[in-house]
Amino acid sequence: QVQLKESGGGLVQPGGSLRLSCASSGVAYSIDDMRWYRQAPGKQRELVASITSGGIASYADSVKGRFTISRDSAKITVSLQMNSLKPDDTAVYYCNADYMALGGKTLVSWGQGTQVTVSS
């Protein structure tokens, strides 16, 4: 019922910035928490940032102070502004959302992922 699509990934030099966006499509009663995850090759998927429907944000220690998550309720999108990027930030970044389906069930949707590569 709800599909997510990430955009904005790419190759950036260390110290540079990227903005990731995640757009939703479909229909739901409401979109609840939205999150950004990332997974590097050979590593466990990790939660990067999350934001509640009320706009309360949380961050992983590794990105705190460098990344900012935001959401637009009208567009039902979530963005991740990434500054001061480091090679360790290289990963596939995934958008994730909990939502209330029209039938009343809480479901989870994932985007397809977007590659972020931080390298000289």
- pLDDT (0 to 100) of residue 72: 87
Distance CA 117, CA 120 (A): 10
**Model pLDDT for residues 24-81, shown as the tens digit of each residue:** 999 888 889 999 999 999 999 999 999 999 999 999 999 999 999 999 877 789 999 9
- Judged against a pLDDT cut of 90, whether residue 86 lies above it is answered with yes
Torsion from C-alpha of 43, 41, 57, 68, nearest 10 degrees:
140
CA nearest neighbour of 67 among 53, 49, 93: 49
2-7 and 18-26 beta bridge pairing: antiparallel
Computed over every residue of the chain, the mean pLDDT equals 95
- pLDDT (0 to 100) of residue 114: 98
Mean pLDDT computed over 78-95 = 97
- pLDDT (0 to 100) of residue 1: 84
